[in-house]
Amino acid sequence: MSLQTEEIYRTLLQNSADAVVVTDVDGLVTSTNPSFAKLVGDDTTNIVGSQITSFVDWHSHDDADVRLGHTSDKSDDEHGNDEPKPVTVLTRSGAEFIMPASRFPLKDEKTGTAWGFLTIIYVIQANSLQQAQTEFVSTVSHELRTPLTSIKGFADTILRAGDRLDVAQQRRYVGIIKDQADRLTRLVEDILAVSRLESKKLQLTIRAIDPREAIERVQQNLTDKAKNHKVIVNSANSLTPVWADADRLEQILTNLIDNAIKYSPAGTTVTITARGLERATANDAEMVEFAISDEGVGIPEEHLPQVFSKFGRLDNPLVRQTEGTGLGLYITRSLCLALGGQISVSSQPGNTTFTVKLPAATLEMQAARGRG
């Protein structure tokens, strides 16, 4: 390596906002950058020569040797850990922070023997995650407050003046309490779904599913909500099965069709189209496309990028008078990605179409699953 290249690397290391620390194979710190020293609240001179475990706890690993800096042939560290994992950073003041980090082996070019490890703690990513979590908690608290205030208010009224209320008033107040409790339940279920999706703990059972049967099940479940709308289904008689999780596919279709009904005026039409997509090239995967269209007010072009964000609700009269958590489309998009698909939206006044593309259950895929 030339002197200029070494100077570039040294400058990058010294000025990086992310914390970087190098250890030998026994876990002793041999060098670090100012960001790591600032993170743990100590001087570089005091850190060098200390055990890395004095500052970083790889709590996601059970193997004590890994925590000390040793690796076995099957360890992630043997080949480098490209996927950041949570670690607990221990500061000199006693504070602890959970942050994403990666660790890579440093090997001798000639022998291939590891002489140490380089650990990167992603401070910038951790700060972004913390800010996102704070905003999420703040928004959830606001969303919870509205139904809770309503429930408490009407419950207090019944307890305080129940004997002076006629039966009709009592039934109305209890009905409001039930509606708001149902709203709370939906919000909690959506928050749990977001948590499972973001922690990648979503359980999927992938199999071949008939798209028409999936649409029919969702239609039946939404019969009451769709009584003031005309629902049209367009699909070919011989449609390739979709390769998906049945419950998650139903959740995707339910969210989109329910939204089409909720956010379009009574008496309008909701159209559900399912079709197979031909491969554009030999390398492309075969896909099944679902398109759900409504005749609502539409989504302004400048707001289209926001519709899939958390708590992304548009500010128009129809949306304001319709209850929702603002998480449905975020969850729908996350489920599409988890199933190896994609989702898009196009809109203009009088028409909005959400299009979902999911892998088709080809004979090759089904045969491979059978062999497995």
Q: Is residue 215 domain-shared with residue 309, that is, in the same domain?
A: yes
Q: Is residue 224 domain-shared with residue 261, that is, in the same domain?
A: yes
The mean predicted confidence, pLDDT, of the chain is 82
- Top-confidence range, 3-12, 23-32, 61-70, 359-368: 23-32
pLDDT at 71: 40
Q: Read off the pTM.
A: 0.59
- Give the domain extent around 189: 128-198
For residue 312, CA distances in Å to 33, 139, 249, 325, 343 come to: 40, 11, 22, 9, 16
**For residues 362 and 343, which has the higher predicted lDDT (pLDDT)?**
343
Output phi, psi for 125, to 5 deg. Answer: -65, -40
Confidence category of residue 2, pLDDT binned at 50, 70, 90: low
Q: Is residue 18 domain-shared with residue 115, that is, in the same domain?
A: yes
pLDDT digits (tens, 9 = 90+) for 230-247: 999 998 878 889 999 999
pLDDT digits (tens, 9 = 90+) for 288-326: 999 999 999 888 888 888 888 876 655 555 454 555 557
Whether residue 131 has pLDDT greater than 90? no
Residue 156's CATH number? 1.10.287.130
Percentage, residues of the chain above pLDDT 90? 33
> Where among 157, 176, 198 does a domain terminate?
198
pLDDT at 331: 87
Q: How far apart are CA 154 and CA 168, in angstroms?
A: 14
Q: Is residue 219 domain-shared with residue 355, that is, in the same domain?
A: yes
**For residues 15 and 256, which has the higher predicted lDDT (pLDDT)?**
256
Q: Is residue 240 domain-shared with residue 327, that is, in the same domain?
A: yes
pLDDT digits (tens, 9 = 90+) for 72-113: 333 444 444 557 788 888 888 888 888 888 889 998 888 888
Q: Is residue 232 domain-shared with residue 353, that is, in the same domain?
A: yes
Q: Is residue 154 domain-shared with residue 255, that is, in the same domain?
A: no
Q: Is residue 292 domain-shared with residue 229, that is, in the same domain?
A: yes
Residue 112's CATH number? 3.30.450.20
Would you say the C-alpha torsion 232, 266, 146, 183 has a positive or negative sign?
negative
- Length of the chain in terms of residues written: 372
> Where among 180, 198, 216 does a domain terminate?
198
Confidence category of residue 371, pLDDT binned at 50, 70, 90: very low
Whether residue 285 has pLDDT greater than 60? yes
85 neighbors 100 (Cβ within 8 angstroms): yes
Q: Is residue 214 domain-shared with residue 329, that is, in the same domain?
A: yes
Whether residue 269 has pLDDT greater than 90? yes
Whether residue 223 has pLDDT greater than 70? yes
Q: How far apart are CA 154 and CA 147, in angstroms?
A: 11
Percentage, residues of the chain above pLDDT 70? 81
Q: Is residue 103 domain-shared with residue 143, that is, in the same domain?
A: no
pLDDT digits (tens, 9 = 90+) for 155-201: 999 998 878 888 898 899 999 999 889 888 878 887 888 777 777 77
> Where among 149, 170, 198 does a domain terminate?
198
The token pair that represents 16 in the structure block: 């990086």
Number of domains into which the chain is organized: 3
Confidence category of residue 128, pLDDT binned at 50, 70, 90: low
Q: Is residue 156 domain-shared with residue 106, that is, in the same domain?
A: no
194 neighbors 311 (Cβ within 8 angstroms): no
Q: Is residue 37 domain-shared with residue 137, that is, in the same domain?
A: no
H helices within the chain, ranges in order? 3-15, 34-40, 44-47, 64-68, 123-161, 167-198, 211-221, 246-262, 317-320, 328-338, 363-371
